[in-house]
Amino acid sequence: MKEFLFYLIFGLSAITYFVGLGSLRKTSRKGVIDRLYFLSAMCSAGWGLFIGLVLMQTDENLAALFRAIGMLHIFGLLICFTYMLVFWSNIQGRMKRWTSGFVWLSALLYPFVIRRENVEFEMTAYGMSYRIRPGIFSVVYVVFCAVVAVNLFCLNLHMLRRSVRRRERDIAYSLLLCVIIVGFGCALDTLLQMIGFSAFPVSTLGQFVAQMVLCQTYLFYNGSRVTLENMSKFVYYSVDEPVFLFDETERLCIVNNGATIFLGLSAEECCKLRLEDIFVLERDAFKFRGNKNRVEARCWQRNNICSISIDKIYDDYQDIIGYIVIVHDVTERVRMLERLEREKQRADKANEAKSAFLANMSHEIRTPINAIMGMNEMILRESAEQSTLEYAGNIQNASKTLLVIINDILDFSKIESGMMEVVEEPYSLRTLLQDLRTECIMRAEEKGLALRFIVPEETPSALLGDEVRVRQVILNILTNAIKYTMKGGVTMTVTYERQTPDSVKLFFAVADTGIGIKKENIGRLFGKFDRINEEQVHAIEGTGLGLSIVDRLVHLMDGKVTVESEYGKGSVFTVELRQKVAGEETVGSIREQPRQQERQEAGGPLFTAPDARILAVDDNKVNLAVIRGLLRKTKAQVTCATSGGECLEAAAKERYDVILLDHMMPGMDGIETLEKFRALEENASRDAKVIVLTANAMAGVREMYLEKGFDDYLSKPIEGKALEKLLLKYLPSALVTENEE
């Protein structure tokens, strides 16, 4: 009986030791529970081992020594078990401090509990045993054990009450079972001694059973949390991307669930493959420098396009022991990019077709307008009959209105297609305002409106910006105000704020006494092709594009436009633009007309050049007649040619100072003609300036023509004064006499 009980206890102790050491080896990162479980297993095994040694003794002193060491393990087991419950039940504050403090009282009781006189040893049928002798220390020990048991039970109840998840409740019930088993064994062992029987190792056998339950609880706890040990299981089932693990010989060893689904094969079938059996590779993907490699490949089985990420795996000696390969199926992404590229190509082709259409429409519309406006300008210059001049004036106004509409449509198309560019050049704000006033005052007077410009004289005038676009924005707002004002007047107030010594913020506020705008309609003002109060303004000309173009141009120049209006009383449009300051000049008074403007109004030419020779090339004879008529008063010698071939023949035979060359001509266009002109060996007009005259007014064409080799650019319809300015710039000064009248 004695030998059997000893071997039983010794065997259970050995099992407990091995289980505890196994948990220590399996867990790479030690947490609180890992350490406490290991210590509890060691204490449990030590308790059983030394109680077994007590049973085998015949010497009472040795038995007392082994009992004392065994009791040390009992106290250690109680401490570990209490702390495990404290951790799992997540108690905090005063309760945690009380529980921890109480359990450490065992350290004070231990020396008194193991005193030799507290127990009486005797031989029994199952070996050396002992009974507790009555005394104060024995009573304290029994009470302490009872309080510890109650404390553990209360901790268990607290843990059950706070458990929300099923996993937490299962752990709490398992721990409760451990407490009950250990408590029952200790209580039975103590009661046997109190009624006069020698101690039987019931508590020892009970704690072995409780330790096995605790072992299962610990394994369940570790299996339900993410650790390095069980992470591979989560990766296997939860990661959708295929994951392959190759050894150092590039043989596939492990695949995850995503890989088996991706290949449509079992794990055993997958592990018979090499990387080149799975993917079409251009080179050996495992031969690379560094730790990571990424290659693009196509899967043999599914013909999918994949992005493969390869990482090297090293051992503790930094030797490569394998490769982990993660596969990303990018088929849909690649196909989507291909679709986007095709859509982009189609959009580019459509944009090119739109640009070509706009350029063609610009040419086709501006060419006849050029003839109309040019011929009409000659009538205005040469006719003396009042009725004829009146008719010609009406034609001129109608032509300008038509040209404004065409320009609005083309400008809007440029902005929509992203072809509108802002070009910064030096300009004079004073000249700009004078031109705007001159251009608008006649319109205002025709309607009986007062037009006022309020501009502080100290406003900077020498600025750097896109004069053409600034003029277009302000002119559009001014003409709109005049159009929609039936009585009263229009006032433009210019103010400024210095931002830096080299920049200024300008405010152009145009106030009218017109029909005004309802509050609910202000948001629609800058919409395209949208006219507010159509029932009131249907008789007023317009396309509904003007303010939309204004808004977009202002934003292109990094400014903003705001509107304040009261229906029936008028509106105030304010444009805010930031411009660079290019000099110290100020606006001063804008009432004085510049001398150039006076000459324009007088109708006289800017210069005379009877010895200047000009070659005009255009396939449209009406356009040639317009050019000749516009330059008649300059007395320049104008020769006409109707094709590129005629141009080359004329330039080779005679000297010309300036060549006005149309772009779009049948057979040989203007650009081809220029290239052949520059390449002529016998060229009498080699030093002539070549200016392209074209009806193409799209954004960027000026830069394109200059890049092709033209000296300058002038768009149709051609205005007499604009043509004279250009010729004055390029004709040799010795041949030109400027008019000062």
The arrangement of secondary structure in 231-329, i.e. its CATH architecture, is 2-Layer Sandwich (3.30)
Neighbouring residues of 562: CB distance < 8 A, sequence distance ≥ 6: 573, 574, 576
CATH number for 603-738 (one of 3.30.420.270, 3.90.1200.10, 3.40.109.10, 3.40.50.2300): it is 3.40.50.2300
Which neighbouring-strand residues pair with 505? 497, 578
Best-predicted range by mean pLDDT among 193-197, 344-348, 353-357? 344-348
Which secondary-structure segment (H or E) carries 715? strand 712-715
Which secondary-structure segment (H or E) carries 412? helix 386-416
- Of 151-165, 409-423, 632-646, the one with minimum mean pLDDT is 409-423
- pLDDT band of residue 123 (cuts 50, 70, 90) is confident
- Of 52-56, 505-509, 531-535, the one with minimum mean pLDDT is 531-535
HSE-CB at 186 with a 13 A cutoff on CA atoms is 23
Tell which wins on pLDDT, 110 or 715.
715
Mean pLDDT of the chain, nearest integer: 80
Euclidean distance between CA atoms 95 and 162, whole angstroms? 15
Q: What are phi and psi of 109, to 5 degrees?
A: -80, -25
pLDDT of residue 153: 81
Q: What is the pLDDT of residues 173-219, one digit of tens each?
A: 888 888 888 777 777 777 666 666 666 677 777 778 888 888 888 87
- Strand segments (E) across 116-189: 119-124, 127-132
Handedness of CA 114, 119, 124, 126 (dihedral sign): negative
Q: What is the DSSP string of 432-454?
A: HHHHHHHHHHHHHHHTT-EEEEE
pLDDT of residue 740: 65
Q: CA separation (Å) from 159 to 90, 154, 185? A: 8, 9, 23
Long-range contacts of 494-500 (CB under 8 A, 24+ apart): 494/433, 494/453, 494/454, 494/455, 494/456, 494/459, 494/587, 495/456, 495/459, 496/456, 496/459, 496/460, 499/578
Euclidean distance between CA atoms 449 and 487, whole angstroms? 6
pLDDT of residue 30: 65
Q: What is the mean pLDDT of residues 701-721?
A: 86
CATH number for 422-592 (one of 3.50.50.60, 3.30.565.10, 3.40.50.1700, 3.40.50.12780): it is 3.30.565.10
- Of 47-61, 407-421, 533-547, 726-740, the one with minimum mean pLDDT is 533-547
Neighbouring residues of 431: CB distance < 8 A, sequence distance ≥ 6: 594
Counting every residue, how long is the chain? 741
Contact yes or no for 508/587 (Cβ under 8 A):
no
- Strand segments (E) across 335-471: 425-428, 450-454, 462-465
pLDDT of 534 over the 50 cut: no
Q: What is the mean pLDDT of residues 606-613?
A: 91
Contact yes or no for 325/251 (Cβ under 8 A):
no
Which secondary-structure segment (H or E) carries 484? none
pLDDT of 528 over the 60 cut: no
Contact yes or no for 48/12 (Cβ under 8 A):
yes
Euclidean distance between CA atoms 165 and 158, whole angstroms? 14
pLDDT of residue 363: 66
Which secondary-structure segment (H or E) carries 494? strand 489-500
Q: What are phi and psi of 673, to 5 degrees?
A: -60, -40
Contact yes or no for 190/145 (Cβ under 8 A):
yes
Residue ranges per structural domain of the chain: 2-223, 231-329, 337-412, 422-592, 603-738
pLDDT of residue 445: 87
pLDDT of 734 over the 80 cut: yes
Q: In what order do the strands lie in the sheet with 689-694?
A: 637-641, 613-617, 658-662, 689-694, 712-715
pLDDT of 595 over the 60 cut: no
pLDDT of residue 533: 52
717 cis-preceded (ω within 30 degrees of 0): yes
- pLDDT band of residue 491 (cuts 50, 70, 90) is very high
Q: What is the DSSP string of 80-122?
A: HHHHHHHHHHT--HHHHHHHHHHHTTHHHHHHHHT-GGGEEEE
What SS3 string covers 682-710? CCCCCCCEEEEEECCCCCCHHHHHHHHCC
pLDDT of residue 362: 65
Contact yes or no for 193/131 (Cβ under 8 A):
yes
pLDDT of residue 414: 66
Tokens read off for 197: 């029987």
Burial letters 626-649, b for 16+ CB under 10 A, else e: bbbbbbebbebebbbbbbbebbbe
pLDDT of 359 over the 90 cut: no
pLDDT of 582 over the 50 cut: yes
What SS3 string covers 521-574? HHHHCCCCCCCCCHHHHCCCCCCCCHHHHHHHHHHHCCCEEEEEEECCCEEEEE
- Of 219-228, 485-494, 662-671, 679-688, the one with minimum mean pLDDT is 219-228
Tokens read off for 39: 């210590």
Q: What is the pLDDT of residues 545-570, one digit of tens each?
A: 668 778 888 888 889 988 888 888 88
- pLDDT band of residue 229 (cuts 50, 70, 90) is very low
Best-predicted range by mean pLDDT among 199-203, 228-232, 252-256, 459-463? 459-463
CATH homologous superfamily of 2-223 equals Rhodopsin 7-helix transmembrane proteins (1.20.1070.10)
Tell which wins on pLDDT, 333 or 316.
333
pLDDT of residue 650: 92
pLDDT of residue 594: 43
Euclidean distance between CA atoms 530 and 528, whole angstroms? 5
pLDDT of residue 236: 63
Tokens read off for 225: 């949390």
421 three-class SS = coil
What interhelical angle do 60-89 and 106-113 show, nearest 10?
160
Find tokens 């808004």 and name the residue: 551
Q: What is the DSSP string of 241-268?
A: S-EEEEETTS-EEEE-HHHHHHHTS-HH
- Cα dihedral 515, 521, 527, 530, rounded to 10, equals -60
pLDDT of 520 over the 80 cut: no
pLDDT of residue 572: 92
pLDDT of 741 over the 70 cut: no
pLDDT of 459 over the 80 cut: yes
- pLDDT band of residue 228 (cuts 50, 70, 90) is very low
Q: Which of 74, 65, 136, 132 is nearest to 103 (CA)?
A: 74
Query: Cα–chain-centroid distance for residue 212?
Result: 57
Q: What is the mean pLDDT of residues 274-297?
A: 83
Whole-number percent of the chain with pLDDT over 90? 14
pLDDT of residue 596: 42
Q: What is the DSSP string of 290-314?
A: SSEEEEEEEETTT--EEEEEEEEEE
What interhelical angle do 467-483 and 546-556 show, nearest 10?
150
Contact yes or no for 214/207 (Cβ under 8 A):
no
pLDDT of 357 over the 80 cut: no
Find tokens 């706009």 and name the residue: 358
The arrangement of secondary structure in 337-412, i.e. its CATH architecture, is Orthogonal Bundle (1.10)
Q: Which of 4, 88, 76 is nearest to 43 (CA)?
A: 76
pLDDT of residue 499: 87
pLDDT of 540 over the 70 cut: no
- Of 187-196, 227-236, 634-643, 670-679, the one with minimum mean pLDDT is 227-236
- pLDDT band of residue 730 (cuts 50, 70, 90) is very high
Tokens read off for 639: 């020769």
Euclidean distance between CA atoms 404 and 397, whole angstroms? 11
Tell which wins on pLDDT, 338 or 353.
338
pLDDT of residue 699: 57
Euclidean distance between CA atoms 150 and 153, whole angstroms? 5
Q: What is the mean pLDDT of residues 2-16?
A: 80
pLDDT of residue 199: 67
